[in-house]
Each structure stands twice: as C-alpha cells, then as structure tokens.
Amino acid sequence: MPKSRLSVAPAVIKPTPEFRLAEPIQAISPYQAVSSLDEIQARPGLPAYKLDWNESTVPPSPKVAEAIRAFLDQAQHLNWYPVLNSANLAARLEAFYGVGRDRVLVTNGSDDALSTICTTYLNPEDPVLVISPTYQHFLVFAQSRGAQIIHHYAPDPFDKDIPGVLDALARAQPRLCYLVNPNNPTGVHYTPSEVARLLAAAPSTLFIVDEAYSEFAGITAIGLVEAYRNIIVTRTFSKAYGLAGLRVGYALARAEIIEDLKRVFNPKSVNVLAQLGAIAALDDQVHLRWFLDEVERSKRHIAAWCEVEGVPCQLTPANYVMLRFEQAPWVVRRLREEGIYVRDRSQMEQLQGYVRFSVGTLEQTKAVLLRLSAILRDFAALNHTGAARQ
C-alpha cells in the first residue's frame, strides 16, 4: 500500500521573529486539521467511505448543480461580486422559519458566523463558557480574541447536565456560552424548553446555540429567538443539505444582534454559486427528507449490529454515532486501509476509546459494518497472539 501522506507529521514552522504574533494568538498552536480527502483523491480506484467530518455521504439535491449550471450557462457574471449579505437567501430563510425580517445573517459556513460573533462581542479576558467536550474549532475563534475559556464537563459526557450548567453560569458569569445542540461528538441534546431555562437564568450571557446538526434531530431553538434577547442560533448547509464544499451557514437572532454582527461581517463573503446552491438545496425538502430518513434507518441498523457484536455504542440524534473499541487506533488504521475514514476521538477528555462514524445511507452503512465485522474478527484473532496491541 502507498505510504499515506496523512501519516507524515506536519513540518514545524516557527513563527517569524520580525512580525510578532498578536498576543492572544501566541497561545494558539496551528490547527492540525486531518482530512482524508488527500488520501481519497490519491487512490481514485478504491471505493471510499468518508465518515470523518460529519459531512453528508451523498451529493446534494440535483437541483443544486442545475441551478449552478444554469447560472454559468446564462449569466456568467462571475466578474461581479455576489448579492451583498446574500439578501435573497437570507429572505428565503426568514420565510422558511417564519421569523421576521433582518433575523438572518448568511455566512461563509457556520464557522464564519462563530468567528464573527467572537469578533463582535469578545474582549480580552472575557470568560466564555463552553459545554464540553465539543466542537473544537470554536475555541480558536474565542481564544484569538484573548477570551478566557471555561469548560464545563458533565459527570457523564453522554448525558445532559442542567444543574451543572446552571451552576457554571452562576459562577463564571460568562460573556458568551457555547452550546452545540445536538452536541458534536457526544450527541447530547437539550430541548427548547431546557435551552429557555438556561437563557432565563443568565440574561447577561449571550448564548450561541450551534445547531449544525439540528435537521437530523428535528428540533430547534429558533422559536426562542423572538422571546429572548440573549440567543444566537447558528446553522449550516454543510451537513444535512450536503453542501460542505460550497461553504454556507447562517446565524439567526433578533434584529439588533444581526445589526451588531454586520459591523464586522464582510457582506460579500459568500460567493454567488454558494448562494444559488443553498437556495436550490433549501427548495428541495423532498431530497432532504429522503436523506434524513436514510440516516435514521442506518442508525437503527448500527444499534442492532452493535448489540450483536457487543460493541459499546452511543447513538446520537445527529448524523454520527460513537463506537467504543478496546484498541481504537488499531481499528481506525485498519478501517483506513479498507478505504473507510472515521475519527478517533480518544484524545478528547472523557472520550477515551471512542471513534466517531458519520452515518450515511443504509446501503453505505451495511457495507461499512461488513468490513468492520471482519476487522473485529481479525482483532480477536490477533489479540489472542498479542499482535494487535503493537
């Protein structure tokens, strides 16, 4: 097998001495993102199951490509900047959710919304409460503002902890609280009334409720946006709608908050093809529904498989599951050799031995589990001789 480019440790690049890093950045190490994309592209003959970044496992609605093709065939105005603030898409989203005007800011992926929120509201040393373990990249946005991150870990990482969060809010008095709902990677999910309880308990904390996976879970805190002035909901087209490559996300909040965010937001940061693609994807709810149903069926299948195989498993309301293995790195390596790319979350606090699998269609899931069964059989045989422990 060719040597994987991903297995090569990234070169250590020293900061330039003449351009001193801004102070908050000095404490941040370069983000060592690991994506299987390079490896998949380097092995075009091998069927690949890209289950490492919680993306959709299928292309988006065919209407997306149609809309982009029609634009390129007809207008071809790639020489013009896109519609500012993605005004057309923002209006579509406001109508779709039945919220008033000026409640949506469309961003370059929801990461861009998270970054814009941190730039808009954080001063150095501001406490930011993060319900952890969770999506790591948010930490970079908050740390780059010099904020002080306070993690709250529930006693059980797979269970919600309202008293613990209420206590942490009271003690930290944070300026921002970051709650991923359902959480990545644990799947912990707070209901809208539970979120409302948190909002009411800490009225001077601005809550970011990151709903990147909310379509899968089927519930949302968007209904709280009018009643509470301290909530911003962030969402994305990268997951259920399958548009990760186009980079479109959005923030939903009261008009005053959206206005605040626009002080720093670049109104031309979402490109024209991404805007058109997202409108087409939103318009095709049949395609979305089909994929959501497939993911549900797959999760049921995984649960049954885990039962039979004796693999500890945490299902989530999102499009990923967490499976626990005695030798997680070994299983992940073997899966990779089979063209199946998953994410070992063992290094995260409380998640020792857990591997996150994105969930796709039932057919894809069956193919993956077939290989996983064979790998576990190998493990049992090798374990017998001690070889799998090397």
Ligand X SMILES: Cc1ncc(COP(=O)(O)O)c(C=O)c1O
Closest to 254 measured CA to CA, from 82, 132, 99, 144: 99
Q: What's the closest the beta carbon of residue 54 comes to ligand X, in angstroms?
A: 5
Query: Is residue 175 within 8 Å of 127, Cβ to Cβ?
Result: yes
Q: Closest residue to ligand X, Cβ-based?
A: 109
Q: What's the closest the beta carbon of residue 2 comes to ligand X, in angstroms?
A: 28
Q: What's the closest the beta carbon of residue 243 comes to ligand X, in angstroms?
A: 9
- Nearer to ligand X by C-beta: 54 or 205? 54
Closest to 269 measured CA to CA, from 291, 245, 247, 244: 247
- Nearer to ligand X by C-beta: 117 or 212? 212
- Nearer to ligand X by C-beta: 34 or 367? 34
Q: What's the closest the beta carbon of residue 356 comes to ligand X, in angstroms?
A: 10
Closest to 227 measured CA to CA, from 206, 196, 260: 196
Q: Which amino acid is it at 58?
A: V
Q: What's the closest the beta carbon of residue 177 comes to ligand X, in angstroms?
A: 14
Backbone angles phi, psi at 153, to 5 degrees: -105, 125
Q: What is the DSSP letter of 114?
A: H
How many angstroms separate the CA atoms of 267 and 259, rounded?
A: 12
Q: What's the closest the beta carbon of residue 249 comes to ligand X, in angstroms?
A: 4
- Nearer to ligand X by C-beta: 55 or 283? 55
How many angstroms separate the CA atoms of 331 and 329, rounded?
A: 6
- Nearer to ligand X by C-beta: 184 or 361? 184
- 209-to-95, 176, 256, 296, 333 alpha-carbon distances in Å: 21, 10, 17, 23, 34
Is the Cα dihedral 273, 276, 277, 278 positive or negative?
Answer: positive
Q: What's the closest the beta carbon of residue 352 comes to ligand X, in angstroms?
A: 21
Closest to 345 measured CA to CA, from 367, 373, 322: 322
Query: Is residue 205 within 8 Å of 174, Cβ to Cβ?
Result: yes
Q: Does 155 sit behind a cis peptide bond, omega within 30 degrees of 0 on the bond before it? A: no
Q: What is the DSSP letter of 43?
A: -
- Nearer to ligand X by C-beta: 139 or 375? 139
Q: What's the closest the beta carbon of residue 187 comes to ligand X, in angstroms?
A: 11
- 173-to-64, 128, 177, 253 alpha-carbon distances in Å: 44, 9, 9, 21
How many angstroms separate the CA atoms of 201 and 198, rounded?
A: 5
How many angstroms separate the CA atoms of 89 and 95, rounded?
A: 10
Q: What's the closest the beta carbon of residue 238 comes to ligand X, in angstroms?
A: 3
- Nearer to ligand X by C-beta: 244 or 382? 244
- Nearer to ligand X by C-beta: 249 or 317? 249
Token look-up 């709902």 returns 181
- Nearer to ligand X by C-beta: 111 or 215? 111
How many angstroms separate the CA atoms of 346 and 356, rounded?
A: 10
Interface with ligand X (CB under 6 A): 54, 109-111, 135, 180, 184, 210, 212, 236, 238, 244, 249
- Nearer to ligand X by C-beta: 224 or 243? 243
Q: What's the closest the beta carbon of residue 225 comes to ligand X, in angstroms?
A: 18
Q: What is the DSSP letter of 85?
A: G
How many angstroms separate the CA atoms of 117 and 236, rounded?
A: 15
What 3-state DSSP class applies to 199? helix
